Each structure stands twice: as structure tokens, then as C-alpha cells.
């Protein structure tokens, strides 16, 4: 199958657009005609080789589209179905069987190693192999080979071009609140970093009935949007000590905190801005080997810190739930999204990274 893809050829480089060839789906695989794919921070950290995904590679891991063809043994989707592509997991290990797919021990090889587990890749360019299978999809392309496990079927009338980001960034932010921290109605939460993940958390915190939702960031535009989406208080970390301000405005510390920045000092502030027995979620992906420190005596007072991958979600359960919440007006994630054509992918990178103009860029194929 001839396709067109955006390829990262070297560390830190721009996306290069080129014609590629994509194999037919093998057993358990699904060929998807990609409608659109969101750009997530992890695409850019892999471009920068924070994670050792081999290059050249087709990235993209928030794809959505229509099933074109299925391999042998695929039973849950069929040609013509609209699907959102999420992360890949094995489906058979104890974590997956217990519904904790985001903590599957095969998560890293399945999502980051650029190959199927047998070492093959479905994409070639002018006869040369290109690394693919990124998050089981490599969806910065007009066609994608996914596995049945990471296809989430959605309704036939779904607005498919908008839904790709539910597969990673938006599910990560919302799930950290709705599946992991589970704040009680009336509780307080501080969210450090309000890009697409943090803003999704703000909306989910509001939907959960949190009464004090404090957004912390250095970008005035994002803080304004956080307020529009449900933040009751915003803190500009350029000028204010966020930790002191949160402790003051909550009368001793927030019930919950969340760090999306992956900056060790910010994570430390998030934990230190919770009160005794407060719980903090670490959500951002830092460079491999990054360490951080905490005050042991401060932790002694019942504070909890937990890591959360992909919002601790089972995509086939959680993504339809988020779509239903959006329909009901409880989760207006479309306000985060800006559309680009695939050919404008490097512009989308610049608007995401440099100017912050785009919070969630979505590339239309």
C-alpha cells in the first residue's frame, strides 16, 4: 500500500515528508486509513531521543481514522469502522488481564522500539526499512498498521478527525484525575503545567466536583484557558512562588496535586504544596535516568506520590466515556485543538514548542 508519511531522520531534526510503502496487516493487526493524528509531547521527546526509539522513524501516536483491512484473527473491528488509536499493550499478562494495560511490562518494547516484537517493521521507504510501530501505530502517515488491542471503535457518526488526542495526551490528563487520584467532590487540587495534559486534568477535576482547582504555568494564555475550562485560581509561576501561594490559598495545602512538567523541582513543589495525607500524581515523562528528591519527614505525614501512565486507563472503556462526557458538555476538549495539514507538521511543532500558540495540534491527513 502506497502512503505518505512524516519521518524523523535524526535526533532533533525536522519532520521530512516522503512517500512510503506499508505492508498488509498481519495476524492480529489492523490497517487504518488515518484521518488525523494529534501531536503529543512524547513525539517531540522521542525526536530528541530522550527515549531510544531508533531513527529514522515514523512517529505519531494519537491517530484516528477508518479501518481499511484487518489481519487474520481480528474480531473486534472490521473494515469501515471508525477507530481511535491508543497505546499498545500485550493483552495477556497479569497487568493487562487485571485491566491495568497502562502498566503492561511489554509497554516499552511495544510502544517505543520502532519494531514489532519479532523485529520486523511494516514501513519501507524506497526499499529501505523505516522504524514504525510507534505506540503500535506510527500515525503521522496516511495509513497506519495498528494492532487490534490499540484500536478503540467509536460510533459511526463520531467526528473522527477530532478524536485522536483521546488516545494519549487527553486520556493521560483526564485519567490521572478520573482513574488514578479520584478526588472526592468538594476537594482541592493543584495542577502544575497546563498544556494539553494539565488542561484535560482541569476539565476532569471540574467534572469530579473539585471546588478548588489551581492551575500553575508560565504561559498567560494557557492560564486564561485553564480558567475558562474550570480552574478557580491560576498562578503565574514567573512571578509567584506557587507552593507558598497554594498552601496559603488552601489553608495549609491542597488535597491533591499533579505534575505534568517532568521537571524535578516542579514535582517537588507539587508534593510540598499538598497538606498532610495529600496525594500527588507524577505524569510527565522525563529523560531516562532522571532523579528527584523529597523531604523524608514531610512524606512521613501520610503524603502519597504515585506515577500514572496514560491516565491508568483501559482505552476501550475510557475513551468512549470521555466522548460521552464531551457530548454532555462536561469535557470540552475541542477547545484545546488546532488543526493543521500533515504538510504543515513542522509549523505545528513550532506553534506547540516555541510560541505555545497551539495547545493540541491535530494533523489532518
Chain residues binding Zn ion by CB under 5 A are 40, 42, 89-90, 93, 96, 104, 168
**Residue closer to Zn ion, measured from CB, 40 or 223:** 40
Shortest approach of Zn ion to residue 257 CB, angstroms?
21
**Residue closer to Zn ion, measured from CB, 90 or 201:** 90
The C-alpha cell of 322 is what?
470521555
Shortest approach of Zn ion to residue 10 CB, angstroms?
21
Do 71 and 85 form a contact (C-beta atoms < 8 A)? Answer: no
Shortest approach of Zn ion to residue 301 CB, angstroms?
34
For residue 359, the 8-state DSSP code is S
**Residue closer to Zn ion, measured from CB, 25 or 38:** 38
Q: How far apart are the first and last CA of the chain?
A: 16
**Residue closer to Zn ion, measured from CB, 188 or 314:** 314
Distance (Å, whole) CA 165 – CA 170 = 6
Q: How far is CA 231 from the centre of its chain?
A: 21
Give 277's contacts (C-beta < 8 A, 6+ positions apart). Answer: 301, 302, 303, 304
Shortest approach of Zn ion to residue 109 CB, angstroms?
11
Q: Can you point out the beta strands (E) in 206-359?
A: 212-217, 233-236, 254-259, 274-282, 304-307, 337-341
**Residue closer to Zn ion, measured from CB, 89 or 192:** 89
The C-alpha cell of 272 is what?
510540598
Shortest approach of Zn ion to residue 324 CB, angstroms?
22
Amino acid at each position: 500500500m502506497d502512503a505518505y508519511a512524516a519521518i524523523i531522520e535524526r535526533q532533533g531534526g525536522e519532520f521530512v515528508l516522503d512517500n512510503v510503502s506499508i505492508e498488509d496487516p498481519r495476524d492480529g493487526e489492523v490497517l487504518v486509513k488515518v484521518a488525523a493524528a494529534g501531536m503529543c509531547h512524547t513525539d517531540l521527546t522521542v525526536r530528541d531521543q530522550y527515549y531510544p526509539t531508533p531513527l529514522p522513524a515514523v512517529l505519531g501516536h494519537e491517530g484516528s481514522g477508518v479501518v481499511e483491512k484487518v489481519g487474520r484473527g481480528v474480531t473486534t473491528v472490521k473494515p469501515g469502522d471508525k477507530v481511535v488509536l491508543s497505546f499498545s499493550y500485550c493483552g495477556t499478562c497479569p497487568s493487562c488481564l487485571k485491566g491495568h494495560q497502562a502498566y503492561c511490562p511489554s509497554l516499552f518494547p511495544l510502544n517505543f522500539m520502532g519494531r514489532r516484537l519479532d523485529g520486523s517493521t511494516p514501513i519501507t521507504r524506497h526499499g529501505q526499512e523505516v522504524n514504525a510501530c510507534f505506540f503500535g501505530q506510527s500515525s503521522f502517515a496516511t495509513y497506519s498498521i495498528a494492532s487490534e488491542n490499540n484500536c478503540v471503535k467509536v460510533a459511526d457518526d463520531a467526528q473522527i478527525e477530532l478524536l485522536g488526542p483521546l488516545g494519549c495526551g487527553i486520556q493521560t490528563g483526564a485519567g490521572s484525575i478520573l482513574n488514578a487520584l479520584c478526588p472526592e467532590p468538594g476537594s482541592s487540587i493543584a495542577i502544575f503545567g497546563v498544556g494539553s495534559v494539565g488542561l484535560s486534568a482541569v476539565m476532569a477535576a471540574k467534572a469530579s466536583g473539585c471546588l478548588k482547582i489551581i492551575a500553575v504555568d508560565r504561559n498567560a494564555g494557557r492560564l486564561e484557558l485553564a480558567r475558562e475550562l474550570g480552574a478557580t485560581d491560576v498562578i503565574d509561576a514567573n512571578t509567584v512562588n506557587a507552593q507558598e501561594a497554594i498552601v496559603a490559598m488552601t489553608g495549609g495545602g491542597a488535597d491533591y496535586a499533579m505534575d505534568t512538567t517532568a521537571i524535578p523541582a516542579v514535582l517537588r513543589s507539587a508534593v510540598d504544596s499538598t497538606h498532610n495525607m495529600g496525594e500527588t500524581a507524577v505524569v510527565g515523562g522525563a529523560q531516562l535516568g532522571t532523579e528527584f528528591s523529597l523531604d523524608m519527614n514531610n512524606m512521613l505525614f501520610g503524603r502519597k506520590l504515585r506515577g500514572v501512565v496514560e491516565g491508568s486507563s483501559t482505552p476501550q472503556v475510557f475513551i468512549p466515556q470521555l466522548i460521552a462526557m464531551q457530548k454532555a458538555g462536561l469535557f470540552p476538549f475541542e477547545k484545546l485543538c488546532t488543526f493543521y495539514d500533515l504538510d504543515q507538521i513542522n509549523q505545528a511543532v513550532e506553534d506547540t514548542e516555541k510560541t505555545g500558540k497551539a495547545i493540541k495540534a491535530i494533523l489532518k491527513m
